Amino acid sequence: MDRFTYSKTIGAFVLCALISLQISAQSELTIEPVKDGLYMIVGPGGNVGVRVTPEGVILIDDKFPRNFDEIQSLVASVSDEPVKYVINSHHHGDHTGSNAGYIQIAEIIAHKNARDNMLRGNQDAPPRLVYSQETSVFLGGAEVRAYYMGTGHTNGDSVIYFPDLKTVHGGDLLHGIAPFIDYANGGSSRGWVSTINGMLELDFDTAIPGHGALMDRRDVLAFRNQMEAVRDHMKALIRDGTTAEQAPEMIQNPDLSWTQAADGLFMQRSVPGFYAEIARELE
């Protein structure tokens, strides 16, 4: 191969690589209907709720920074109205990453602890509006309500409720595979159970989880039951003398999918803090 052909080949290769990179960056996400006027954007990062009204769009979460343009074009495929509000379910970067884009064009709302966690983590574009117990956005005849029901995944999780659609967006309080208890940001397994019990007091039949497929009420109940079962399992292990070092191995139980190393990496990451939390309860 002469030098010219060689550099042409390399050039074509680089161009192809660039094009395929661009294509994958542009078509990472898809939008799916949930109910009349409510959609969910799925793909890498937290599931985005899209509430469409005649006077504007309300988003729940906004994935990673690179997803801003694609979220905007997927919203445009179901509504001519602009995004006017974004509610961050909690502070994690796969749910708040496109805040930097949205803060230019919309109001961002989160629980006050989620904002504090964002500031502590030096995250971009923290919300300008916060609440402590409950807040609502009223737009175009629709209401989107956010409740703080206590600690769980973090200390700043919102349970977001669409009352007219009997649907909740649980952020990472609901997870399709296995939960992660973020102890460094105030997470708690005990709090999580009571937070899910609070969620179950709402009248809903459909739930958008932070990650994974759409859930129904039974799935949310099963999630709460597994959280209780995993807590009971850890209590029994500690009572039997299991040490913190043995806990990651010993917690694995084929009847509890979250604890399996293969399925439950998120849960496995939580084990040191989880052990400490349960040991304190038993003191």
Site string for Zn ion, 53-92 (x = CB under 5 A): ---------------------------------------x
Site size toward Zn ion (CB under 5 A) is: 2
Stretch that binds Zn ion, among 25-33, 62-70, 108-116, 170-178 (CB under 5 A): 170-178
Output the smallest distance, CB 172 to Zn ion, in A: 4
How far apart CA 103 and CA 58 sit, in angstroms, is: 13
Q: Which is closer to Zn ion, CB of 116 or CB of 172? A: 172
Output the smallest distance, CB 210 to Zn ion, in A: 6
Residue with tokens 């159970």: 193
Stretch that binds Zn ion, among 116-124, 129-137, 164-172, 212-220 (CB under 5 A): 164-172
* Binding of Zn ion by 172 (CB under 5 A): yes
With CA atoms as reference, report the closest residue to 274 among 233, 240, 241, 239: 233
Output the smallest distance, CB 263 to Zn ion, in A: 18
Name the phi and psi angles at 31, rounded to 5: -115, 135
Pairing relation of β-strands 167-169 and 206-208? parallel
Binding to Zn ion, residues 85-104 (CB under 5 A): 92
Instruction: Write down how long the chain is.
Output: 283
With CA atoms as reference, report the closest residue to 221 among 197, 188, 190: 197
Cβ–Cβ < 8 Å for 134, 66: no
Q: Which residues bind Zn ion (CB under 5 A)?
A: 92, 172
